[in-house]
Amino acid sequence: MKVIELHKSVTASNDRDAQVLRDELKEKGVFFVNLMSAAGSGKTTLLLKTIEDLREEYKIAVLEADIEADVDALKIEEGGARSIQVHTDGMCHMDAGMTRTGLEEMGLEGMDLVFLENIGNLICPAEYDTGASKNVMILSVPEGDDKPLKYPLMFQNSDVLLVTKIDVLPYFNFDMKKMQERVRFLNPDIRIIPVSAKKGEGMKEWEDWLREQIALWKAPHA
Amino acid sequence: MHELSIVTHVAKTLDELAEENHLEKIGSVTLQVGEVSGIVTDYFIDCWNYFKRKDPLIEEAELKLEEIKAVTFCEDCKQEYETVRYGRICPYCHSEHTYLVTGNECIIKEIEAEERKEEKKETCE
Ligand SMILES: Nc1nc2c(ncn2[C@@H]2O[C@H](COP(=O)(O)OP(=O)(O)O)[C@@H](O)[C@H]2O)c(=O)[nH]1
Ligand SMILES: [Mg+2]
Ligand SMILES: [Zn+2]
């Protein structure tokens, strides 16, 4: 027997696969968003509203990996975007390999904007690069303003934080200012956008962010 | 389950390594696991034993786990302290401006392996 020293992080090979995938998507001009949140935070609802507003402008698709993915995939199809359900086999997160398989099965021909509805938990998905162009996380008002203290890595690794269900703010003890301070302490560069997918508030700011990012992503030398 | 997912990542890395280094069998794998990595070692061992039966390369491999202690650094008073004991607040100056230095990792440290026997080169002439 021979001893081989590796000193290699378990996620190292995933990080490499993810970068290769990201480069390929850039080449194809497909802007790919990894959407993460706890279960029931409002990912599907937000996606449906976003698709409704943007489907005339972009060709959109969704990779569904969360629980009830089959139901969500159906709803998305009815909403006018292509969608496919990924089989996650009891895994707690999507990795770059599973994402690639899903994207290839779905087909990327002509796509401008693709979302991954990641598996609903705030711990594991934060650690695995999926090859996404940008990471977006959702915190819904009922979950509480102390979530950043409990799950710091998710907030550190996200480019955008959507604070959803703001229509129910009057009924909850949710301190928006305190929450923002906590998040900025962990990640000074994060973009925080409060929205209500139900009432439409804040959706324009989110969609403008998407428009701006898609344009940058498709620009040849960015 | 988180532990099963990590086992699949370890197995994938080992498969790649075996390919590159012409390894036939892996005898043991030493993994370093951070104290606050969130990995439950008992679950991890169960998952490993379940998963290794599916992969001939590692079916006989022994899993060795080493713990890495969690240490947090305070940016205000520049001291290090035990994360598990004191959490996010510095015990010396009560600052919140602290960050984890070690303890969140999961590293494949080393393996023991047997190389594939050199195949006799056929001379066809
Ligand atoms: N009040 C309110 N409820 C919402 C909003 N967005 C989603 N919900 C509700 O939250 C629940 C979970 O939403 P869903 O999109 O399925 O969450 P997912 O599991 O993250 O995909 C559903 O009952 C939605 O109707 C919102 O902006 N406001
Ligand atoms: Mg959903
Ligand atoms: Zn201190």
**First vs last C-alpha separation in chain A:** 49
Residue A205 lies inside a defined structural domain of this protein: yes
Q: Which SS3 state, helix, strand or coil, does residue B34 take?
A: strand
A9 in any annotated domain = no
Chain A CB contacts of B113 below 8 Å: 1-2, 4
Determine whether B33 is exposed, middle or buried from the number of CB atoms within 10 Å of its CB (0-12, 13-18, 19+): buried
Using CA atoms, how far residue A156 sits from A101, A136, B49, B60, in Å, is: 27, 11, 34, 39
CB within 8 Å of B75: residues ≥ 6 apart: B95, B97, B98, B99
* Mean of pLDDT over chain B: 90
Residue B120 reports pLDDT greater than 80: no
- The string of pLDDT tens digits covering residues B85-110 is 999 899 999 998 899 999 989 999 99
Contact criterion met (CB below 8 Å) for B41 and B84: no
Tell which atom from ligand 1 comes closest to the C-alpha of A168: 1
pLDDT above 90 covers a percentage of chain A that reads 81
The rounded distance, in Å, linking the Cα atoms of B104 and A218 is 36
Find the domain containing A143 and state its range: 18-218
By C-alpha distance, the chain B residue nearest A3 is B112
pLDDT digits (tens, 9 = 90+) for A172-192: 999 999 999 999 999 999 999
Nearest to A11 by CA among A174, A110, A126, A139: A126
> Looking at the DSSP assignment, which residues form a beta bridge with residue B81?
B72
Task: For residue A12, tell me if it sits in a domain.
Answer: no
Q: Is the CB of A42 under 6 A from ligand 1?
A: yes
**Cβ separation of A97 and B12 shorter than 8 Å?**
yes
Phi and psi of A163, rounded to 5°? -95, 105
> Is pLDDT above 70 for B123?
no
Residues of chain B positioned with their CB less than 8 A from the CB of A7: 107-110
A221 alpha carbon to ligand 1 midpoint, in Å?
Answer: 38
Helix (H, G, I), strand (E, B) or coil at B23: strand
pTM of the model: 0.86
Amino acid at B34: G
Which residues keep their CB under 5 angstroms from ion ligand 2? A 43-44, 66, 72
Domain residue spans of chain B: 3-69+103-115
How many domains is chain A partitioned into structurally? Answer: 1
Q: Is residue A82 part of a domain?
A: yes
Is residue B28's pLDDT more than 70?
Answer: yes
pLDDT of residue A222: 53
pLDDT at A94 over 60: yes
- Here the ipTM equals 0.79
What are A109-164's pLDDT values in tens digits? 999 999 999 999 888 899 899 999 999 999 999 999 999 988 988 999 999 999 99
Which of B4, B13, B114 is facing A8, going by the closest CB pair? Answer: B13
A44: Cβ below 6 Å to ligand 1? Answer: yes
pLDDT greater than 60 at residue B122: no
- A14, A123, A149 ranked by CB distance to B38: nearest: A123
What is the whole-number distance in angstroms between the Cα of residue A49 and the centre of ligand 1? 11
Q: Which CATH number fits domain B3-69+103-115: 3.30.540.10, 3.40.50.300, 3.30.2320.50, 3.20.20.10?
A: 3.30.2320.50
Q: What is the mean pLDDT of chain A?
A: 93
Here the CATH number for the domain that contains residue A202 is 3.40.50.300
pLDDT band at B1 (very low <50, low <70, confident <90, very high): low
